[in-house]
Amino acid sequence: MTDALPHPGPSGLAALLRHAVGDPDTAWSLGSFGAVAEFMRDPGETVRLGERDADGAVLLETRTARGGLRIRLDPALRPFAFETAAGTGWSQSVALCLPAGACAMAGRRVVTELGPDSDAIDPKDREAILFDLGLDLPQTDACVRSADPRVIERIRAGAGLPMFDPDSPLRDAWPALSPERIFVCRFGRIEVSQPIPPPDGRSPEGPHTHVLPRLLAARRTHAATAPIPEGWTPCAHLFPPHPLKDLMGRPIPFDDARHAAFQTLLERWGDPSLTALKRDIRGRLERGEPPAAESGLDRFQRMTVRATLRQVAAMGAPAPRLAEWSARFDRPDPDPDAAPSGH
């Protein structure tokens, strides 16, 4: 149902996005299942924040030396907040969704030269040459950009072939070339200026990209663990500050304010049935009720229960029978999206 997500109204959407763009503790991603660009910045990092009107639309922008982000307040855009049980903890994010029929991008299948990147966030980059990688993603054009004549010549040599074609001269050349990566959706883009690590290397801290051929082969728009309502496609995500870890995933003492802030987002822009389930589980834990022998919970309901139990444990909230509940419900489902890291 395409009416499953409530309209936040222009002011509600603008407030959410303005706060997130201006917050150095919020991370972002843009892409599709198997190919994603991520943007984040350090609190003390030199940054240029901007907001400007173009064709009647408000553009929110931020650019550092390592990467950039642009989000346009598209009236069709809907935020959807959700949590998943991840590892021994939980993740939290807000998906920025478009109707499934309104998110399609160019769908190119071979490396294709597009000309100067006239939409670059920084004006100095608008003469650099943009190339579509030809990944044929449902909601994203995954591109690279360079102003270096040597790099441009090398990429042109692989134009007209799929990125992963065994005969492509680009197949193993990307780490050495390390062009900027530009991932674009209908309402925004993420630019990554950091080098591409070798296949056995690690992604750098800060903005980076991942391209995983095995996941791309699934031809999905998002992970199976994300409870995106039917009829909607997540084109980008914002990740508000987590109560148990910093932007780099390092553990921090539990932060009540961060936790409460995301619970407010869940109540406003989450799935009402899942937020009601969370409230019910919390109430039963506080009352010291034993775990129910419930059956028939779907995947997303089970994840909600697990995330709630882990949050109660992290908060140290009164829950005398928490161990019983965890033994009953905190058994993770197999992860169909598990894959080794890659770039």
Which residue shows structure tokens 């869940």?
A: 266
- pLDDT for position 199: 82
Using 50, 70 and 90 to split pLDDT, how confident is the model at 337? low
Q: What is the domain extent for residue 284?
A: 256-329
Please name which of 60, 81, 2, 9 lies closest in space to residue 275, comparing C-alpha atoms.
81
Cα 67 to its chain centre, rounded Å, is: 15
**Would residue 264 count as lying in a domain?**
yes
Tell me the pTM: 0.92
**Would residue 145 count as lying in a domain?**
no
The total domain count for the chain is 1
CA distances from 143 to 94, 119, 320 (A): 24, 13, 53
- pLDDT for position 201: 82
**Would residue 251 count as lying in a domain?**
no
Which residues, at least 6 apart from 163, have a Cβ–Cβ distance to it below 8 Å?
Answer: 111, 133, 134, 135, 170, 171
Which residues are 145's β-sheet partners?
Answer: 130, 180
Average pLDDT over all residues of the chain: 91
Q: 2 pLDDT exceeds 60?
A: no
Torsion of CA 304, 15, 4, 187, to 10 degrees: -110
Q: Kindly tell me the sign of the dihedral angle through the C-alpha atoms of 262, 267, 269, 274.
A: positive
Q: Which pLDDT tens digit goes with each residue over 142-168?
A: 999 999 999 999 999 999 999 999 999
Torsion of CA 276, 282, 284, 289, to 10 degrees: 150
3-class state of residue 188 by DSSP: strand
- pLDDT for position 327: 92
Using 50, 70 and 90 to split pLDDT, how confident is the model at 342? very low
**Would residue 122 count as lying in a domain?**
no
- pLDDT for position 219: 93
**Would residue 7 count as lying in a domain?**
no
Residue 103 exposed, middle or buried by CB count within 10 Å (0-12, 13-18, 19+): buried
**Would residue 154 count as lying in a domain?**
no
Q: Which amino acid is at 97?
A: C
Q: Which pLDDT tens digit goes with each residue over 50-92?
A: 877 666 667 899 999 999 999 999 989 999 999 999 888 999 9
Instruction: Give the residue-averaged pLDDT of 229-253.
Output: 96
Which residues are 179's β-sheet partners?
Answer: none
**Would residue 277 count as lying in a domain?**
yes
3-class state of residue 281 by DSSP: helix
- pLDDT for position 37: 98
**Would residue 74 count as lying in a domain?**
no
